[in-house]
Amino acid sequence: MKKIWFLWIAVTLLTSSCKSKNNEELKSSKPNVLFIAVDDLNNWISPIQNFSNVKTPNFDRLAKMGVTFTNAHVQAPLCGPSRASLMTGLRPSTTGIYGMTPDNQIRRLENPTTKDITFLPEYFEQNGYHTMGIGKLFHIHAPDSVFNESGGRVKGFGPYPKERFVWDGFGKGIKGKHGRTSTDWGAFPENDTLMPDHQSVNWVVERLQRKYEKPFFMGLGFLRVHVPLYVPQKWFDLYPLEDIQTPPYKSDDLNDIPNIGLQINDLPMMPSTEWAKESGEWKKIVQAYLACISYVDNELGRVLDALESSKYADNTIIVLWSDHGYRLGEKGTFAKHALWETATKAPLLFAAPNLPKGKKIEAPVEMLSIYPTLLELSGLPAYSRNEAQSLVSLMQTGTSANETYAITTFGMNNHTVKVAGYRYIRYEDGTEEFYDHNTDPNEWTNEAKNPKYTAQIEKMKGLLPKVNVIWDEKSSYTFQPYFVEHKARVNGEEKKPVEVIGADR
């Protein structure tokens, strides 16, 4: 009996020792990275704005795990150039990638800035990581061979019903001139399993159950909340129409906007706020957007559950971000495509073993900082080509919070600068906008000519990019005549007939 007793003690001690050793090895190894992109997600989620009592328990859950930036801004208010900027670590004004660029054309010999750039996932691979990705991470999915394992991406933003529910895709736009969008809203399909994002999460969940010989970098790109705003009925049921709020709006809001700003905002193929009011669809569009947010939140919860039940739970960095905001009636339309607050601001959340938990930071920051921040959190050497600073010290100690700013660019020489309390916009022809968010958070009054703000405007002018290269040959944005003409003019090209394609691909 004593022999059995001593044998049991020996086995227990040996097992405990092995577990302890394995845990120590896991803790001492490089952290894994879970890199989550959500398409077209604005700041309505509950950890930031909690707009119309949005139900996002898993965004709340992630926020409690780490740090939430409530004032993060993209480098372009458009999917393609925003994602190219984040993945290269370079500003659009440096690369000339101002519009949509095929994934495989971002890095090419003809572009002297990007020809030898190392994409974010590649940097991790070069430093000993196994890289994986699925869904929309670059504009479509990813350039060939960027990931060691690719789950690809389902084409488009379906599933689609046989007929559109509400919007015909053209609105007041002219076929062949303005393009057709995927903008529409309604309850479809029958259940979550028919959504491409659900299948992407299945792929991630399965891979979180595997054993890896190296630390991993795993990218997950959600397609929602990109239009069409279709998700199953149960997500609409969370938001009775009578309880829906609509965003602040003034019908004369654009009366003090420079002409170029009006041209950029001219989106006749999109629903206008006036149409939405008159037709009674405004609350329904907001309801659909909120439903899509809650659907993505649920899928995020599945990912967090899988991570927490895996052996990687204590040694994984999570970053969640969106490629731009989205206007749900602000400034007269339902779209991104602008240099105003609601188009440039998007969620940014980090969670990591060495970061505070449940912290919120209101200082303006850039999505461009994701690349250097992940490197520092992972203990990797800095990449000298990155044009933004890491946010680690800001998250850990709050240092430099008063010195942060964010720059967004939409076409060559159209920029906006955001600092705490203010936004400054300068267009290619020198016309300007300036907003004091302390008194005008909705950006309804352009104060660019108000002498009260002369000193602040001059200070913010000094932050504008010093380098403004012409459009990259493979980058274009044919969704609007302004951008077709703009590229032809600044690149010295012969003006060609406008061949319009939809932006929502």
Q: Tens place of pLDDT for every residue, the chain, 505 residues?
A: 445 444 444 445 444 444 444 444 444 489 999 999 999 999 999 999 999 999 999 999 999 999 999 999 999 999 999 999 999 999 999 999 999 999 999 999 999 999 999 999 999 999 999 999 999 999 999 999 999 999 999 999 999 999 999 999 999 888 777 888 999 999 999 999 999 999 999 999 999 999 999 999 999 999 999 999 999 999 999 999 999 999 999 999 999 999 999 999 999 999 999 999 999 999 999 999 999 999 999 999 999 999 999 999 999 999 999 999 999 999 999 999 999 999 999 999 999 999 999 999 999 999 999 999 999 999 999 999 999 999 999 999 987 767 899 999 999 999 999 999 999 999 999 999 999 999 999 999 999 999 999 999 999 999 999 999 999 999 999 888 899 899 999 998 765 444 444 445 4
The reported pLDDT for the residue numbered 372 is 98
The reported pLDDT for the residue numbered 494 is 60
Q: Token pair of 345, please?
A: 């601001």
**Tokens 């206007």 identify what position?**
327
Say if CB 120 and CB 367 are below 8 A apart: no
- HSE, CB side, 13 Å, CA atoms: give it for residue 395: 29
Paired residues of 272 in beta bridges: 333
Longest Cα–Cα distance in the chain: 95
Listed in sequence order, the DSSP H helices in 180-232 are 196-208
Q: Can you tell me whether residue 227 is helix, strand or coil? A: coil
The reported pLDDT for the residue numbered 478 is 86
Residue 434 belongs to what H/E stretch? Answer: strand 432-436
How far apart (Å, rounded) are the C-alpha atoms in residues 355 and 230?
Answer: 36
The reported pLDDT for the residue numbered 480 is 82
The reported pLDDT for the residue numbered 489 is 93
Q: Token pair of 237, please?
A: 């049921």
Q: Can you tell me whether residue 204 is helix, strand or coil? A: helix
**Tokens 């869904």 identify what position?**
135
Amino acid at 142: A
The reported pLDDT for the residue numbered 179 is 82
Q: In what order do the strands lie in the sheet with 422-426?
A: 406-409, 415-419, 422-426, 432-436
Handedness of CA 263, 265, 270, 274 (dihedral sign): negative
Q: Mind telling me the catalytic residues?
A: 79, 139
**129 CB-near residues (< 8 Å, 6+ apart):** 30, 33, 214, 215, 216, 217
Q: HEC states along 216-241?
A: EEEEEEECCCCCCEEECHHHHCCCCH
Is beta strand 415-419 parallel, antiparallel or unpaired with respect to 422-426?
antiparallel
Q: Token pair of 287, please?
A: 């309801």
How far apart (Å, rounded) are the C-alpha atoms in residues 290 and 320?
Answer: 18
Cα distance between the two ends of the chain: 72
> Which superfamily does 29-401 belong to?
Alkaline Phosphatase, subunit A (3.40.720.10)
Amino acid at 355: L
Q: Token pair of 484, please?
A: 């077709």
